[in-house]
Chains A and B, each alone.
Chain A
Amino acid sequence: MTETETETVTTATTPTPHAEYPMARATGCPFDPPPALREQRDGGPISRVRLWDGSAPWLITRHDQVRALLGDPRISADPSRPGYPHRDAGAKARAGTRQTFITMDDPGHARLRRMVTAPFAIKKVEAMRPAIQRIVDDLLDTMLAAPGPVDLVEAFALPLPSLVICELLGVPYEKHDFFQKHTKVLVRRNGDPQEVIAASEALIDYLEDLLTDKLAEPGDDILSDLATKRVATGELTAREAAEMGSLLLAAGHETTANMIALGTVALLQHPDQLALLRDGDDPKEIAAAVEELLRYLTIVHFGRLRVAVEDIEIGGVTLRAGDGVICAADIANRDPELFPDPDRLDLTRDARRHIAFGFGVHQCLGQPLARVELQVVYSTLYRRIPTLALATGVDQLRFKHDGVIYGVYELPVTW
């Protein structure tokens, strides 16, 4: 028997080893999901993958199945449950240290989430549109007064959502260096576990102090609301309220900032699509364009992590209680069953059913705010700077392959 034949026999009798997750994107193709992820999907919409710690959770890639599972009460988002698929050692270490509604199941999740839903209602967020427009215009005035090239992330993409969430929460924006530094640690993959916990604690400590100040002197903001209505009544401890504030502060930063910067890179690579935003002025078309950019980029490119708490039959497979589950929204948002020609960025398509904000009871709380911010940004930036261009080659950009949220670290632009 030759060596080759031996190998063939071995392969046939040994179960296929699970593919490692996450997979790497192809070089030169920064917007598309990893080729190995597509192959995994093409081999079957439900499969097993291997994580950093050797565990082998289920990977779900079909849009309808991801939605079904994320909406299933037999699935838990609690990382302290056995079998939960931790994304890295830092996240695993942090899992037991704090509980916010994002990591809780109902009814506890619903009780806490409802304490902060009011400011994100559609009409409340719509009422913020003029203020958001002013912030966008001011930031662009300042940026345009500087000699180019400038880093669009630092000058525009990050300050905008930061200013908005600080205003809503009642956090002084002057402290942005402090909380942006710690937020970056929390969204990095494979960070040092001690450093991750320290960053998380630093943010919570800071917000706990701020909540005490708000109790004495409340303003019209979310932290004041939590302090006076929840902490003062004993419904929440100051620590729990600070944890909730920390979640909102961190979530409001990296997500929208990366959508702005990465969206701009994508649009500059698709000038025909950018022209639709620059030349159109129908709010409905702009809103639709935002949905398509959310679908196409799906910046939360590490899947939604869950663990089955009961046996669940789906797609001919039985997920057993205690099995880890990764709902991969990025590849699900490229599902050709729902989005024909899914790899094409087409701002005129109806992309409303994308799951870039997740699905189920944990769907992003801040999505109405993110939408308005992105609608204002995308309808303003290219119109005010029609000659906007990259100051470097796309291949020179540093993409956030190592983050939970995908994007670019810097975006040098000229005009």
Chain B
Amino acid sequence: MRVKVDQPKCVASGQCVLAAPAVFDQDDDGIVQVLVDRPEAVHHEDVRESVAVCPAAAIWLEEE
């Protein structure tokens, strides 16, 4: 699994950070940042939840 984000689309809702805090963070303006772009399997479910709850469709996955 590879995590991709589109920062210009992000609306700083922080949903990804709540769902997968090990994988996502926010910059000073609340914009999404990826901490680990190839998360370990243990985080995959949380990452999928982040994708599902992101209101701006700013996060997607490339399965490898």
- Chain A positions within 8 Å of B, measured between CB atoms, are 70-71, 110, 113-114, 117-118, 120-123, 125, 352-353, 358-361, 363-365, 367-368, 371
A129 to chain B, nearest CB (A): 14
User: When A and B form their complex, what is the total count of cross-chain residue pairs whose Cβ atoms lie within 8 Å?
Assistant: 61
CB <8 Å contact, B55 and A121:
no
Chain B residues, CB < 8 A from A71:
55-57
| Given A363-B13, A367-B13, residue A118 in contact with residue B29 (CB < 8 A) | yes
Whether B61 sits at the interface, judged by CB under 8 Å, is no
CA distance A114 to B53 in the complex (A): 20
Q: Which residue of B lies closest to A123 (CB)?
A: B26
CB <8 Å contact, B55 and A359:
yes
| Given A71-B55, A353-B52, A353-B53, residue A114 in contact with residue B29 (CB < 8 A) | yes
Between A and B, 15 residue pairs with Cβ closer than 8 Å are: A71-B56, A110-B8, A114-B31, A118-B29, A118-B30, A121-B28, A122-B18, A123-B26, A352-B49, A352-B53, A353-B52, A358-B55, A365-B11, A367-B13, A367-B14
CB <8 Å contact, B55 and A363:
yes
| Given A114-B12, A121-B12, A352-B49, residue A361 in contact with residue B55 (CB < 8 A) | yes
Chain B residues, CB < 8 A from A122:
14, 17-18, 26, 30
CB <8 Å contact, B29 and A117:
yes
Q: Which residue of A lies closest to B14 (CB)?
A: A122
Chain B 5-54 residues near chain A, CB threshold 8 A: 8, 11-14, 17-19, 26, 28-31, 49, 52-53
Most buried by A among B8, B12, B18, B57: B12
